[in-house]
Amino acid sequence: MNDLFDFKPKAVRFAVMGNPVEHSRSPEIHREFALQTGINLEYDRIRIDGGFEQAVSHFQASNGAGLNITVPFKVDAWKLCNRPGNQLSNRAGTARAVNTLRFEENGTIYGDNTDGTGLVTDLEQNIGLALESLSILLIGAGGAVRGILEPLLACCPARLDITNRTMSKASEMADLFGEKVNPVTLQETGRRQYDLVINGTAAGLEGQMPELDSHCIGPNTLAYDMVYGSRLTPFMEWALDNGAYAVHDGLGMLVEQAAASFHLWHGVHPQTRPVVELISKIHHVRSI
């Protein structure tokens, strides 16, 4: 029963939806942002086995204001927002993958993708790497990589190569961007040493890593793994063993993409550095 004299504003509801989501750090991150900005919100984890659109409608109908969408539903979320009546941001339209939903008052669902801006902000602002004129190798051609290609290209790297275990998927993705992205096979990755090598595959989640040629790494290479864990990922260990001058995991990207989602929902951009520091002190899990 509602308390007639309870005048406290009701918390609006947000959540991360996907599978798995048990170890997601997004609730902690959004609660930290909420404390920082004085916004009253609830943020939960919702694990679904299927029935994506039904689960979204149900959440929307239960005072839901927005959702983060994670594996394996980012493309389903794009399909939902691509329907007449709903809306997509330009960057989510190009990526054909959505990681943030906002439910408008008229019932429209707006879909955005904040993964790319999260990665670029982490690299440029937190790590201090200017991407302009760098040579970049991107590994992977799944949902996680779709969202980051265009934002990386917008930083004007000298070269952007993409490789993947299933080469045809890397070639298809490169084709979307014409001559600006070059597909290379895993074996061809050793033809040059890159300034930045980004692992966008899910291999690290299984304790594995793609079969790259180690010559792509050298003393001028920074290696970045988009997943994160309590320890160095296999890709980070491999990059250090092969002489990379620095390695980073995807925790900063996670916090930055969350901040961009928070801005989309609340119109305020929270401070990310204290949250990266807080979460990295206690983090022990792996997926967004």
- For ligand ATR, the binding residues (CB under 6 A) are 71, 140-144, 164-166, 169, 201-203, 206, 208, 210
**Do the Cβ atoms of 149 and 279 come closer than 8 Å?**
no
Minimal distance in Å, beta carbon 167 to ligand ATR? Answer: 8
Minimal distance in Å, beta carbon 34 to ligand ATR? Answer: 27
Question: Which 3 state secondary structure label does DSSP give 69?
Answer: strand
Of residues 95 and 203, the one with the C-beta less far from ligand ATR: 203
Minimal distance in Å, beta carbon 225 to ligand ATR? Answer: 12
Of residues 104 and 175, the one with the C-beta less far from ligand ATR: 175
Alpha-carbon 274 to chain mean position: 19
Question: Which 3 state secondary structure label does DSSP give 137?
Answer: strand
Instruction: Give the residue carrying structure tokens 């401070």.
Output: 271
Beta partners for residue 44, in sequence order: 15
Backbone angles phi, psi at 277, to 5 degrees: -65, -45
Of residues 19 and 37, the one with the C-beta less far from ligand ATR: 19
Q: 79 an active-site residue? A: no
Of residues 32 and 150, the one with the C-beta less far from ligand ATR: 150
Beta partners for residue 109, in sequence order: 103
Of the candidates 10, 74, 79, 169, the residue annotated as catalytic is 74
Instruction: Give the residue carrying structure tokens 């691509």.
Output: 82
Minimal distance in Å, beta carbon 200 to ligand ATR? Answer: 7
d(C-alpha 34, C-alpha 273), whole Å: 15
Q: What residue number has its CB nearest to ligand ATR? A: 142
List residues with catalytic annotation.
74
